[in-house]
Structure 1
Amino acid sequence: MRNLLVTGGAGFIGANYVLYWLANNPQDKVVVLDALTYAGNRASLTSVEDNPNFVFTHGDICNTELVESLLKEHKIDTLVHFAAESHVDRSITGPDAFIETNIIGTYSLLKAAKKVWIDEPKANGQAPLKHRFHHVSTDEVYGELGPNDPAFTEETAYAPNSPYSASKVASDHLVRAYHHTYGLEVTTSNCSNNYGPYHFPEKLIPLIITNILFDKPLPVYGDGQQIRDWLYVEDHARGIELVLNKGRLGENYNIGGHNEWANIDIVKLVCELMNEYFAKDPTLATRFPEAKTVREGKATSLITFVTDRAGHDWRYAIDATKTNNELGYKPAESFETGIRKTVDWYLGNETWWKDLLEVVKK
């Protein structure tokens, strides 16, 4: 059995990972550390609050003493690090938080892990404690691709183009350095765009769904031809599980969906699905009385092209061949099944996302 510390476990990917892990590894203990900033939501973990193997701690990863105490108190042997500021638009208008959380916060975790797992046992004449530090990164560290460029591999040079991706590059390098310099047992995964339940509604797919329900414009940057590789969030959790169980120490593993879509096509697809759902289920019109356009089957008419954001990368694509070959990784969800599960979830969980819309406006 493992005792895990999951940082950022109340965020989108972190919460889905916690739910997945406890469901599939019921013998393990999971301790979540989350600062509950705007994108962290304790309600995402409601279903496991009564699980005796689940512990929640409200705190900041930059508090190194707190991290040390959690590692010791709960005899943590595995740290899975999701905690990060991740919204590119916010990094452009306010990069300070990204530097603090993504760089200083990661450094704080590495210091605490090295002290508790390596330094203190060594000072007492003992071998380092059994441990793993898994760092969750992003495909955005690799920069952008042209239309005919091969997908990013683990050997692709880093070329960040936003304060967000630059801060993740720095954190990736710190994790690598702590392995090579101090012997900290680390792995890193770089993933493509995630989608699915509990996704904060400032992100593209949930934003489109919720804006349709309130008959609001669907903003699309530039011409909408930017391409992303999409991964269902539970498939990401499954990939990290494989890295922890089979991955080689010090290695990076790409986790991708092999599923490239232009932003405008994603928006049109969600519109079509929403048209379909409203046509089949008359109760939706009662539950969402403001959703006038989608009731008429015309959700695509809400699409509004807006000025492109600064430094907008044109294309991302993940080559997960290494992860497939070494670890046996393969996404369980196709995009067709995953996107329907996502729309189903948002239509069925209004109480989770409705209050968050006020945060998005700020």
Structure 2
Amino acid sequence: MTQTEKQAAEGPRKLLVTGGAGFIGANFVHYWLQQYPGDSVVVLDALTYAGNKVSLESLESNPGFTFVHGDICDTALVEELLINHGLDTIVHFAAESHVDRSISGPDAFIETNIIGTHSLLKAAKKVWIDLPAADGLEPVKHRFHHVSTDEVYGTLEPQDPAFSESTAYAPNSPYSASKAASDHLVRAYHHTYGLEVTTSNCSNNYGPYHFPEKLIPLIITNILHDKPIPVYGDGKQVRDWLYVEDHARGIELVLQKGRIGENYNIGGHNEWHNIDIVNLVCQLMDEAFSSNGELAAEYPTASFAASGKSRDLIRYVTDRPGHDRRYAIDARKSREELGYSPHESFESGIRKTVEWYLSNPGWWGPLIQG
């Protein structure tokens, strides 16, 4: 029996997806409901700057989908959702996640990433463990899956081995420190209270619905508006890039096969210097305008791309404080235990991403104007 068949035999899951209107969360919700149309998904999202309900509008007619506008720090609301919808699984994406914002305003990161995660853990423990125990019952069969980042591990030198699940935490920004704290809280609720948890730490995601302040969509949208493309420092920072749907597949495997209490790294095996990413996206944009004459008319402010000179928009700017030099994920544990491997190559994934942004200005345009 396959894992999918096993899950089907056990009955449908009922998921609470926090931050499900954000970039990775929205892609996960779309993926999950495509793969498991008999499951039900409740999305809880505060719709802050990075949450966009438009990302989910195609699901509004799906009887298995429910959207709730609310805050994960509202513990009573989370308890109510878990009880009223009979939810048995939490997939926790909700987080403040932009490093620059964490440097200029760390308070929101502490509130959402630490206090918000604790709020969810308290609600899950109460509904799935404490209330049944008060009635003399066994805990509800459940899973709390926490989505974290490779940034909790700190930074790597060029020749260092990639981060593994046993790498010591060494966060260097308020963002990564807040995520590290949330990881520890999830672990503590498993070891102290028996909450059935798993955690995944992923590398940099890219793909549809990515908020325009992030590197790849920023390059694309700045080119479309003839705006300078800022590159921090020398642009030689290294990141491991993962197509967002491959991340959803990784979480799916953790939920199906992951051992309770364990952490799993989900990466793309795909390290790139930031400046090389910038140059590649510039090249793909120039190629797109060269091969499709309608784009110049659709995007009249993209004169550099129309003339094949997107790279002329690149501007080197002062590096940000505490900028980690290199991240890289060792995903051997996920491969060996879960059978995980990315489906998309970077070449295929980045082309899909550029094509999506060129085809969906109605999604990202208002975010830039806002």
TM class by shorter chain equals over 0.9
Matches within 5 A, 1:212-227: 212-227=223-238
In the alignment, what sits opposite 1:316? 327
In the alignment, what sits opposite 1:40? 51
The separation in 2 between residues aligned to 1:232 and 1:81, in whole angstroms, is 19
Q: Is 1:101 aligned to 2:75, yes or no?
A: no
In the alignment, what sits opposite 2:94? 83
Measure how far apart 1:222 and its partner are.
0.3
In the alignment, what sits opposite 1:56? 67
Q: Is 1:274 aligned to 2:274, yes or no?
A: no
In the alignment, what sits opposite 1:140? 151
Measure how far apart 1:98 and its partner are.
0.1
In the alignment, what sits opposite 2:215? 204
In the alignment, what sits opposite 1:157? 168
In the alignment, what sits opposite 1:294? 305
Matches within 5 A, 1:117-266: 117-266=128-277
In the alignment, what sits opposite 2:315? 304
The separation in 1 between residues aligned to 2:305 and 2:183, in whole angstroms, is 43
Measure how far apart 1:46 and its partner are.
1.2
Q: CA offsets, 1:89-124, max 9 Å, x none?
A: 000000000000000000000000000000000000
SS at match of 1:355: helix
In the alignment, what sits opposite 1:73? 84
Q: How many residues align?
A: 359
The separation in 2 between residues aligned to 1:242 and 1:16, in whole angstroms, is 16
Q: Is 1:335 aligned to 2:346, yes or no?
A: yes
The separation in 2 between residues aligned to 1:75 and 1:299, in whole angstroms, is 51
Q: CA offsets, 1:213-247, max 9 Å, x none?
A: 00110000000000000000000000000000000
In the alignment, what sits opposite 1:13? 24
The separation in 2 between residues aligned to 1:343 and 1:293, in whole angstroms, is 16
Q: CA offsets, 1:131-153, max 9 Å, x none?
A: 00000000000000000000000
The separation in 2 between residues aligned to 1:97 and 1:242, in whole angstroms, is 31
The separation in 2 between residues aligned to 1:244 and 1:54, in whole angstroms, is 19
Measure how far apart 1:358 and its partner are.
2.7
The separation in 2 between residues aligned to 1:47 and 1:323, in whole angstroms, is 31
Q: Is 1:31 aligned to 2:28, yes or no?
A: no
Q: CA RMSD in A?
A: 0.4
SS at match of 2:177: helix
The separation in 1 between residues aligned to 2:124 and 2:296, in whole angstroms, is 52
Instruction: State the TM-score, normalizing by the size of structure 2.
Output: 0.97
The separation in 1 between residues aligned to 2:120 and 2:301, in whole angstroms, is 46
Q: Is 1:354 aligned to 2:365, yes or no?
A: yes
SS at match of 2:272: strand
Instruction: State the TM-score, normalizing by the size of structure 1.
Output: 0.99
Q: CA offsets, 1:148-173, max 9 Å, x none?
A: 00000000000000000000000000
In the alignment, what sits opposite 2:5? none
Query: One-letter code of the match for 1:317?
Result: A
Query: One-letter code of the match for 1:298?
Result: K
The separation in 2 between residues aligned to 1:38 and 1:147, in whole angstroms, is 34
Q: CA offsets, 1:23-81, max 9 Å, x none?
A: 00111000000000000000000111110000000000000000000000110000000
Structure 1 unaligned blocks of 5 or more: none
The separation in 1 between residues aligned to 2:277 and 2:192, in whole angstroms, is 44
SS at match of 1:27: coil
Query: One-letter code of the match for 1:142?
Result: Y
Q: CA offsets, 1:178-208, max 9 Å, x none?
A: 0000000000000000000000000000000
